[in-house]
Structure 1
Amino acid sequence: MFDHIGLRVANLEVSKRFYAAALEPLGARVTYEDAATIGFGTDAATPFWLVRSDTPGAAHVAFSALERGAVDLFHKAALRAGGRDSGSPGLRPDYGPHYYAAFVVDPDGHNIEALTNAE
């Protein structure tokens, strides 16, 4: 159901310390880090991200889809239900060669994504 979750945080170092301690008992560790982003996960996947932001608080949740048509339907249904467009369905080559996604902002301001890597 979930592919990954990203949280915008005001202080990356404070959040890194908190989540490293909290997630270590669950088997997760830092698997990616740069000046603005820290990823937590395992050798197999990095499903939890912290991103430094001047506007922390709104979450990013990504749902997995089996095919591109489902991503398209997600986008249409979310807009009909009151969501705001934040990225029409399409390939996102910066994320991977087959990464097909759509983004909407929910009524509370959270960034919601549906994606598939199916061709």
Structure 2
Amino acid sequence: MSALDHVAISTADYPTSLAFYEKALAPLGIKTHMKFEGEEGNVAGLGSEQPFLWIGDGGKLTGGRVHLAFSAPNRAAVDAFYAAAIAAGGKDNGPPGLRPHYHATYYAAFVYDPDGHNIEAVCHAPE
């Protein structure tokens, strides 16, 4: 069996990005589990029960961006993610709402993080 274990992204401004992710993902039950200084600089591991999202120094990506989608337990959590992400400095890329072109109950919100990555919270369940 093969499954995704974790994702790591570089940031241009580690303290700003860490603060953004800690605030934006808190409504989804995701928090920082560990921080350390590695060979390439500062690193933080975020997750629910264990780290699955790693952010660190390394500079802004050039020539593209990352799209990360986080599962939300309900639509209220999607709404809370969006509000927290905007309050933490994220930029709107699609407010909470249904996206029926994906499927009838696809409820999501999208924001750009401080490095321009597209961050999404999604709930697939009906209201």
1:104 paired to 2:111: yes
Instruction: Give the aligned CA root-mean-square deviation in angstroms.
Output: 1.9
In 2: Cα distance, 1:80 partner to 1:114 partner: 15
Which ranges of 4 or more aligned residues in structure 1 deviate by more than 2 Å?
none
Which one-letter code corresponds to 1:66 in the other structure?
P
Partner residue of 1:81? 88
% identical aligned pairs: 61
Residue 67 of structure 1, aligned match among 54, 62, 74:
74
User: Structure 1: any 5+ residue segments left out of the alignment?
Assistant: 6-54
How many matched pairs?
A: 67
Q: 5 Å matches for 1:1-119?
A: 56-119=63-126
The offset of 1:108, in angstroms, is 0.3
In 2: Cα distance, 1:101 partner to 1:61 partner: 12
Partner residue of 1:30? none
TM-score (norm 2): 0.50
Q: Secondary structure at the match of 1:112?
A: strand
Partner residue of 1:39? none
Which one-letter code corresponds to 2:70 in the other structure?
F
Which one-letter code corresponds to 1:98 in the other structure?
T
The offset of 1:111, in angstroms, is 0.2
Q: Deviations over 1:36-84 (max 9, x none)?
A: xxxxxxxxxxxxxxxxxxx942000000001000000000000000000
In 2: Cα distance, 1:58 partner to 1:74 partner: 20
Q: Secondary structure at the match of 1:98?
A: coil
In 2: Cα distance, 1:81 partner to 1:58 partner: 19
